Amino acid sequence: MAELNFHHLRYFRAIAHEQGLARAAERLHVSPSALSVQLRQLEERLGHALFERRGRRLVLTEAGRVALEHADTIHAAGEELLATLKGRPSGRVSVLRVGSVATLSRNFQLLLLRPLLARDDVQIRLESGRLRELLLHLGAHQLDVVLANEAVPRDAAQGWRSTLVAQQPLAIVSAPPRSRRSTALAFPQGLHGQPLLLPGGDHAVRGAFDALLADAGVRPRVLAEVDDMAMLRLLARETGALALVPPVVVQDELAARTLVQRCSIPQIHERFYAITAARRFPHPLLKVLLHPGLGQSPVSP
């Protein structure tokens, strides 16, 4: 098998980073036509188109993004060789681009990402936003994975895959009651007439929770509906009201006894998903992220 021509990789890398033939040719002091020939030869050698033309722009294909990662790695290895021989420190890292739904528990994100954060050879780029926006970025190869608390329907065009990475029964928590009696709360009857903090109406668990209360004829006094789990945790600490949360959201407060669990709700689980797109060349770090601890979920079932 013929070896790669590393000049081709150098030229391809310049085109990718300059986002066009003209600027890359100017930088490399060659003609655009000569650069185009070099690119075509590399594509023929690899057996894949590396760019697609959108108007006047050249946009990397999926194969192009994979090739660019390897070309950057090869370039970095050359720089590392030079640095080593010249006595300068140098190191290489693998970048994983993670999107996270803005309302997702920060504690869950930390638990899931912690094995990668502890590694010197990994860099995490974390983007927060709405699920729809994050999926657009995932489909455009700008993200490697999206973390969410709901699965997305399979899409034939995009090939979405929702992998369940953790789940946890919901709980009712509050500040410790002033009474010395047991903190246990009868569910759902104990919620009747009580001030209650809830996740927003669009949250995945709200439908099941509201149905349980309706079936039992229980009507709490809804103090607030909050999309942001960090804000829900803060309100639970400051108001003393009962709050519906996955325990992972308030794990530090439970450990410090600033909040206590009043009851568990095993009928309803908060589920955490890692959403990926079908790729011929998936990021190798996804195996670590999607199977932490040899398949043990970072949130207790």
Place of tokens 């410090």: 256
Same domain, 40 and 14: yes
Same domain, 204 and 140: no
Same domain, 138 and 200: no
**pLDDT of 256 strictly over 50:** yes
Residues forming a β-bridge with 173: 243, 261
pLDDT tens across 57-101, in order?
Answer: 888 999 999 999 888 888 877 776 776 566 554 556 778 999 999
- CATH code of residue 215: 3.40.190.10
C-alpha to C-alpha distance for 250 and 228, rounded to whole angstroms: 13
Same domain, 79 and 198: no
Smallest Cα–Cα separation from 126: which of 158, 95, 92, 94?
A: 95
Return the sign of the alpha-carbon dihedral for residues 33, 37, 38, 39. positive
Smallest Cα–Cα separation from 152: which of 130, 131, 128?
A: 131
Same domain, 43 and 175: no
pLDDT tens across 104-119, in order?
Answer: 888 899 989 998 998 8
Same domain, 276 and 153: yes
| pLDDT of 87 | 54
**Is residue 295 one of the residues assigned to a domain?**
no
**Is residue 299 one of the residues assigned to a domain?**
no
Same domain, 153 and 223: no
DSSP annotation string for 223-276? EEEES-HHHHHHHHHHH--EEEE-GGGGHHHHHHTSSEEEEEEEEEEEEEEEEE
If one compares 278 and 194, the residue with the highest pLDDT of the two is 194
Same domain, 99 and 80: no
Instruction: Report the number of distinct structural domains present in the chain.
Output: 3
Range of the domain at 247: 168-269
